[in-house]
Amino acid sequence: MAKEIKVPQIGDGVESATVSEILVAEGDKIEKDQGVIAVESDKASVEVPSSAAGTIKEIKISEGDEVEVGQVIILLEAADDDEDEADDKGGSSDEQEEEKTSEENEDTEEDDEDEAEEKDSDKKKKKVKEKKANDREEDSEEDGEDEKKSSKKDESEESDEKSSEESEDETSKKSSGKSTESGIQASPGTRRLARELGVDLSELAEEISGRISEKDVKEFSKKGSQKSTKSASVSLPDFEKWGSVERKPLNNIRKATAKNVTASWQSVPHVFQFDEADITDIQQYLEANQDKAEKAGGKLTITTLLTKIVASALVRFPKFNASVDMENEEMILKNYVNIGIAVATEKGLLVPVIKDADKKSIIEIAVELSNIAEKARDGKLSKEDMGGANFSISNLGGIGGTNFTPIVPAPQSAILGISRSAKKPVYIDDEFKPREILPLSLSYDHRLIDGADGAAFINWITQALQDPYKALLGA
């Protein structure tokens, strides 16, 4: 018997994705949980696993197709083990026949009982209907009297209504904006989804009367993403007037990046802060422990060390590990430390997450960073790999530049940028000495974090980089 393999839930709020690669062919024998296709959504590139083992009978999609959650993508001939298991559960034909006969006898007895119950029920229903009919007759008589009394009143008030109609229209126009902000009808789950998708419920309420559903939010998000990215762009001229052009569609990762950074830039009041750290001594620490990391399967880098240092800083400065909820006027403080690490890939920027970074050693972080970076470049990150970051780190030091201002990825509150280090003369002990200086850029959400907080945070990180044991010993 053929089994259907369907597109599972790829991520929160993700309803569709593009098939980037088909990993199997018709006739292949596959195992349960084996990847069958790779899809690229607006949040990640992931492999879809098979829900059963067996032989592939039919592949119902092609590369480049848009697939939706729940859509059948593959028909599978179940493995022999599954068929045997089904036979075992079914039992022998004699046993099945006996069970069938027994069930038929039971059904006959139940039918007789049901028939008697139905007769009693019909009598009760008939009485109820008669009572309702009498009630309606009484109500209609009362309504007739009320209509006679109210008709005279309506005639006298008609002229007053006409004269006040224009003033009421003006009042309703002025109050409509306020009511949509304060009286939006939506469940907590719908409001949470709106925050995740960057949907302004007050704008949506202007288009929808009554209670807003999750479906309304998703549909508005699709339209809003196009509208927001277009509205944030300048009107384009006809470039072909000056020469030939070529148009290429944006891939899903690039479209998601455009949507997310636009929403973050428009909703988060950014503050940017800069500092420099002397990493001359810490480079010696990295070199001395590189062999240990490589034997474990990782590599010690400034990003590795900064992940551990930032994890310690987030424990000491909890606002940087928090999110702001303006709708409920609350600060959401998290009791876990998850750090997103930006990874550049051919398809765009991906940000896998190191979970519980404060509880892991530098060697453990080094190994995990190597693994997730490789998965990101191979397009094999799962939704679990990408979710739950409280703070992000973006290192452009390998490419170049002296400083940059990264955009805070809402609903996070801050992000740390790392630029290329360089040797600079530093005045120490009455003389200038060559030191390796690392530029740091901190961006944070001013709704939650003040300038003094930002200065203290980046200063602590700078001091920890200059003293490698500061973060490790919990100083």
Q: What is the pLDDT of residue 95?
A: 46
Q: How confident is the model at residue 413 (pLDDT cuts 50, 70, 90)?
A: very high
Q: Does 81 or 77 have the greater pLDDT score?
A: 77
Q: What is the pLDDT of residue 356?
A: 96
Q: How confident is the model at residue 86 (pLDDT cuts 50, 70, 90)?
A: very low
- Beta strands 391-395 and 414-418, pairing class: parallel
User: What is the token pair recorded at 91?
Assistant: 């039992």
Q: How confident is the model at residue 214 (pLDDT cuts 50, 70, 90)?
A: confident
Q: Among 1.50.10.10, 3.30.559.10, 1.20.1250.20, 3.90.1170.40, name the CATH number for the domain at 271-472.
A: 3.30.559.10
8-state DSSP, 471 = H
C-alpha distances (whole Å) from 331 to each of 312, 325, 327, 390 are 20, 6, 11, 13
* CA separation for the pair 246, 240 (Å, rounded): 10
Section 379-395 average pLDDT: 91
Give catalytic residue positions.
446
Q: How confident is the model at residue 472 (pLDDT cuts 50, 70, 90)?
A: low
Amino acid at 280: T
DSSP string, 194-224: HHHHT--HHHHHHH--SPBPHHHHHHHHHHH
Given a cut of 90, whether residue 136 has pLDDT beyond it is no
Q: How confident is the model at residue 12 (pLDDT cuts 50, 70, 90)?
A: low
Q: What is the pLDDT of residue 435?
A: 94
What is the CATH code of the structural domain delimited by 2-89?
2.40.50.100
- Tell me the pLDDT of the chain averaged across its residues: 78
Given a cut of 60, whether residue 110 has pLDDT beyond it is no
Residue 358 main-chain phi, psi, to 5 deg: -70, -20
pLDDT tens per residue, range 156-200:
444 444 444 444 444 444 333 433 344 688 887 788 788 777 788
Residues of the chain with CATH 2.40.50.100: 2-89
Number of Cβ atoms within 10 Å of the Cβ of 94: 8
Residues of the chain with CATH 3.30.559.10: 271-472
Secondary structure of residue 55 in the 3-state scheme: strand
Q: Does 453 or 257 have the greater pLDDT score?
A: 453
**Which of 18-22, 239-243, 256-260, 466-470 has maximum average pLDDT?**
239-243
* CA separation for the pair 170, 183 (Å, rounded): 20
Give the percent of the chain with pLDDT over 90. 36
Q: What is the pLDDT of residue 93?
A: 45
Q: How far is CA 275 from the centre of its chain?
A: 32
Angle CA(87)–CA(91)–CA(97) in degrees, nearest 5? Answer: 125
Given a cut of 80, whether residue 337 has pLDDT beyond it is yes
Q: Does 58 or 45 have the greater pLDDT score?
A: 58
Q: How confident is the model at residue 338 (pLDDT cuts 50, 70, 90)?
A: very high
Q: What is the pLDDT of residue 101?
A: 47
Beta-ladder partners of 427: 432
Q: What is the pLDDT of residue 79?
A: 65
